[in-house]
Structure 1
């Protein structure tokens, strides 16, 4: 199959933006779907020319409704981050996603491993990753990635960290993808040495930071109050001794 990522076709029919088919997924899949999109949106939110989305149709043949894919997460560099109903390559400057991540489940493992790589390769997707939260369907490891080189996908080398975390580096994102021993997945910035957070995690971190600042301020106020009280007591004692005729300079 040969697909051109740069062709601009004239739309001939009205295309649906939903297929209205139920998408059964477990809690692990659902949590990770939310995390992956939220984490990258937060990470790139200040950059107007990076589009991050997921579970959104990518159309690569405008007049053929079946010529579409819906990655769990995809990132397009050099594209505005405005909201879209679907992403049509022909209408969006002929620009295919640079990065794609699929959260694999029992119902999608065959498609994620056999069909989607062919589509993404022909579209020119630079990096394609797969993650299996259950650890049951994606072998030999639950996190795998490939990078486009000379029109072919080649595996991205995985590194096992001292704590057992599996780490794969995304050149496209400039981030590491971490799979922890408990199968938990997180994006990781190797420069700032920090884990990318979801909206809820970021809000919790802000709340915790504000709480800690509040405790520090309260502790500082209490310490200052104690110091002031001690100074006042010393001044009162000194005044009392002076009233008794005691020369304070003679007191050792």
Structure 2
């Protein structure tokens, strides 16, 4: 087949931006997807060459729209930030997402998860994490010799690519993900509450300084009335 004919055939192939599936099955899964995605966005906010996305459909092979997945969270180093309808690997310099997260829900099925695993492995995903918020179980795999090999113990595991540390706990939603400086990933609400608390502390400190300044001014005025030096 000629190159022009092949190009014409590929141009006719559709790569939908949606697979028709919901982003999440419940509020718990959604909360964790957003927490991880936004935490990573914040972590790499000063890196224009790191693309972070949530529930974005990704196509691994040009001409094969069935080779697709929609990871709950993905990170692609070496790719610019910006909006995309989908992530077509051949349009992204051949770069596959290096890190992928999946958050389990009751709707997940073993065959589908195995299909995703094989695609991620074949695409060259370097780190793959699955978290089940219902029981707190975290599993991780890292690429070695062309295969995703399981991390034996994810407790205290530091992601080679992300630099974040995982601290799984006991029980539902017990996972803590820590930034390289040791601070935990936080929800937008928690960050707003922290910012509000910081503003209140700053206002209180400013008011305390104002009161102290007025007290000093009154004392200096009283001393002048007594003919004493304010110094």
> Pairwise CA RMSD of aligned residues?
2.4
Partners of 2:35 and 2:185 within 8 A in 1: no
In structure 2, stretches of 5+ residues that fail to align are 1-6
What aligned pairs does 1:90-129 form with structure 2 within 5 A after superposition? 90-108=90-108, 110-111=110-111, 113-129=113-129
> What's the TM-score once normalised by structure 2's chain length?
0.85
Structure 1 position 143 matched with structure 2 position 138: yes
CA distance in 1, matches of 2:112, 2:183: 29
Report which stretch shifted further, 20-29 or 95-104.
Answer: 20-29
Partner residue in 2 for 1:205: 194
Is 1:194 matched up with 2:183?
Answer: yes
Gapped regions of structure 1 (runs ≥ 5)? 1-7, 136-140, 160-165, 243-252
For each residue in 1:137-157, what CA deviation from the matched residue of structure 2 results, as whole angstroms up to 9, or x when unmatched? xxxx61110101111222224
Partners of 1:66 and 1:115 in 2: CA distance: 11
Structure whose alpha-carbon radius of gyration is higher: 1
In the alignment, is the contact (CA less than 8 A) between 1:42 and 1:199 conserved in 2?
no
User: Does the aligned pair in 2 maintain the 1:101–1:128 contact within 8 Å?
Assistant: yes
Scaled by the length of structure 1, what TM-score is found? 0.78
Instruction: Provide the C-alpha distance between the structure 2 equivalents of 1:11 and 1:55, rounded to a whole number of angstroms.
Output: 25
Please state if 1:185 is matched with 2:175.
yes
Judge which range, 216-225 or 107-116, deviates more: 107-116
